[in-house]
């Protein structure tokens, strides 16, 4: 098993513990994710927007601090559903209206994740404005089920569920009003907390 595969197969809690002891760095995790995403995402379309340059800059700034000041997540990478603004990162909300939208500041949730030591590295696919039981939009197309690409991953947090199930994320955000976390989680065999 390669070092990258060892990291991809680990749990989020295990990796956070290893980050706190400096056995691994956030950069190690970002490297492993970049390799995994390049291998898996073309067939699944879960992560249409990547921001590894921004993530590495954030990781380096975090690593300059003592471990005790790196926050609860300690440099853990987190994928964000493409409904949430991330400063400087294309945020489409799955809509042609916002296909070129690059926000000047991050949403509160994203700021809180980064303030707790989370590293944002990707946006996950969503139906337009999060309205839909399937993860399809006219900007990026459909995200498919990681266990059978001829099947649906459900929606609206399908991109996040697929990323988790396929080893492209250890933690990912989603949203849920009528099952938008729970349905994709059940279709992809992952846990979705509302």
Q: Is residue 193 part of a domain?
A: no
Give the integer Cα–Cα distance in Å for 194 and 189.
16
Query: Catalytic: 60?
Result: no
Choose, from 106, 152, 166, 180, the residue flagged as catalytic.
Answer: 180
Using pLDDT thresholds of 50, 70 and 90, give the confidence band for residue 193: confident
- Asked if the structure places residue 71 within a domain, the reply is yes
Here the tokens at position 56 are 């590495």
Instruction: Find the catalytic residue in 156, 160, 166, 173.
Output: 156
Annotated catalytic residue within 81, 106, 152, 173: 81
- pTM value? 0.96
pLDDT tens-place string over residues 159-174: 999 999 999 999 999 9
Q: Which two tokens stand for residue 61?
A: 């700034």
Is 123 among the catalytic positions?
no
- Domain assignment of residue 31, yes or no: yes
Count of the separate structural domains present in the chain: 1
Catalytic, 175? Answer no
Euclidean distance between CA atoms 162 and 175, whole angstroms: 15
Alpha-helical segments (H) within the chain? 3-9, 12-20, 26-44, 52-63, 108-115, 158-165, 182-188
What CATH code is carried by the domain that includes residue 7?
3.90.1300.10
Residue 1 has pLDDT above 70, yes or no: no
Write the DSSP string, 128-185.
Answer: GGG--SS-EETTTEE-B-SS-TTSB--SSSHHHHHHHHTTS-SSB----SSSTTHHHH
- Helix or strand (DSSP H, E) at 80: strand 77-81
- Give the residue numbers spanning the domain of 172: 3-188
78-118: pLDDT as tens digits: 999 999 999 999 999 999 999 999 999 999 999 999 999 99
């Amino acid at each position: 098993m390669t070092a990258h595969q060892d990291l991809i197969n680990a749990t989020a809690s295990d990796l956070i513990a290893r980050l706190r002891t400096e056995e691994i760095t956030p950069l190690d995790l970002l490297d492993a994710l970049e390799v995994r995403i390049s291998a898996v995402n073309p067939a699944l379309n879960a992560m249409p927007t990547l921001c590894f340059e921004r993530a590495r800059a954030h990781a380096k700034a975090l690593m300059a601090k003592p471990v005790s000041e790196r926050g609860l997540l300690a440099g853990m990478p987190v994928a964000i559903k493409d409904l949430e603004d991330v400063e400087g990162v294309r945020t489409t909300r799955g809509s042609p209206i916002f296909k070129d939208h690059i926000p000047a500041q991050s949403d509160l949730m994203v700021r809180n994740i980064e303030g707790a030591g989370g590293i944002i590295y990707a946006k996950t696919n969503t139906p337009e404005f999060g309205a839909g039981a399937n993860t399809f939009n006219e900007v990026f197309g459909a995200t498919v089920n990681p266990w059978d690409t001829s099947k649906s991953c459900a929606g609206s947090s399908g991109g996040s569920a697929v990323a988790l199930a396929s080893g492209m994320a250890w933690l990912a955000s989603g949203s849920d009003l009528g099952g938008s976390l729970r349905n994709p989680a059940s279709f992809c065999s992952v846990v979705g907390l509302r």
